[in-house]
Structure 1
Amino acid sequence: MARITDRLFGLIDGYAENGARYMAQRTGRRSVLSLIGKAAIGGALLPILPFDRAGGGTARAQAEKTDVECEYWRYCALDGFLCTCCGGSVNQCPPNAAVSKVTWVGTCQNPADSKEYLISYNDCCGVSSCGRCLCNFNLRERPGYRMGVHNDINWCMANEASNYHCTVAAVVGLGSSGG
């Protein structure tokens, strides 16, 4: 039995050695290392590629999102806690919180009708931070020097009580491509 396994391992070793010599004669170390690197990076990036886990179209899946989920269509440029999770609604601050006097705006597409809507994001101020349903979307966000379209600012700064609580997303009209 030992002779058979020794012979089998000898054959495997021979095939492996011949294959390695053949590859070494035809390819350089750099090209092999390059192929190994590409395979390793590709394999590592594969799990983060987007694909439809719901089994349907992304518009349908997004249309089914509720206003307490970050993927809800109105929240495409929202950065903050959702007022819908903090006692308010999608366009109204919770009790004891005051709407910010300044705002930032975004244009989000409603998957139900494929129209673009202008969304006014208002921080609700004066109460301690809600701490629930944090969303951070930066779709079409502009740099900080374009104040009206930048979402990383405490917009409660203009209010008397400047502590941030949550953010609402009120539709204020159709966007330029909304028809």
Structure 2
Amino acid sequence: MIGSLQRLVESFDRFSETATRFGAQRIGRRSALSALGTAIAGGAILPMLPFDRSGGAAQAASTRDAGDETCEYWRYCALDGFLCTCCGGSLASCPPGSEASKVTWVGTCQSPADNKAYLISYNDCCGQVSCGNCLCNYNLKERPGYRMGVHNDINWCMANSRGLYHCTVAAVIGTG
């Protein structure tokens, strides 16, 4: 058994040496450094790209978690994500240990109390893993995702240094 293992290791060593020599003879240092630089630069840009948090499933407002009545709150008419009120935060402030996204999306929601339309700023709270509580996907009057500022299926934490999505707050910023 030990002899066959030793032959296998020697075969792997010969293969590795042959492949390395072949590569060194065919590929110059400049082209290898160029390929390495391209891979590093491409890898640095990748985390800055927005990505879809919807999971590829088009969910209508009626498919929200039936037991979670907090999704019905009027401010959440365009919210897609975990409610910060269920994750240690409030309606307008992020939970401890997370920070508000530097970019946001907006929606206009109508309050049933005074029948006025309010401009709501939805801020993702960033820097911690997803809280996983109170998922709401309320897409009232949602438009296709070609206009980033009004689309809720994007990870808005992309502009923060700690790009992990945690939860979402809904702050009233004006009346309509």
TM (norm. structure 1) is 0.60
Supply the distance in 2 between the matched residues of 1:163 and 1:102 (Cα, whole angstroms).
14
Q: Which has the higher contact order (CA 8 A, sep 6+)?
A: 2
CA deviations 1:81-101 (Å, max 9, x no partner) are 000000000000000101000
Aligned length: 110
**RMSD (Å), alpha carbons:** 1.6
- Percent identity between matched residues is 78
Superposition map of 1:129-148 within 5 A: 129-148=130-149
Query: Where does structure 1 differ by over 3 angstroms across 4 or more consecutive aligned residues?
Result: none
Supply the distance in 2 between the matched residues of 1:166 and 1:142 (Cα, whole angstroms).
22
1:174 equivalent in alignment to 2:175 = yes
Assess, with a 3 A threshold, how the Cα gap between structure 1 residues 167 and 68 changes in structure 2: closer, same or farther: farther
Q: Paired residue for 2:119?
A: 118
Supply the distance in 2 between the matched residues of 1:141 and 1:97 (Cα, whole angstroms).
27
Q: Give the SS at the match of 1:84.
A: helix
Supply the distance in 1 between the matched residues of 2:93 and 2:105 (Cα, whole angstroms).
16
Q: Paired residue for 2:49?
A: none
CA deviations 1:50-101 (Å, max 9, x no partner) are 9xxxxxxxxxxxxxxxx97000000000000000000000000000101000
Structure of higher CA gyration radius: 1
**Matched letter for residue 104 of structure 1:** W
Q: Paired residue for 1:6?
A: none
Q: Give the SS at the match of 2:168.
A: strand
State the 1:125 CA deviation. 0.2
Gaps of 5+ in 2: 1-61, 63-67
Q: Give the SS at the match of 1:69.
A: helix
**Matched letter for residue 121 of structure 2:** S
Q: Paired residue for 1:21?
A: none
State whether residues 103 and 120 of structure 1, in contact with CA within 8 Å, keep that contact through their aligned partners in structure 2: yes
Gaps of 5+ in 1: 1-49, 51-66
TM (norm. structure 2) is 0.61
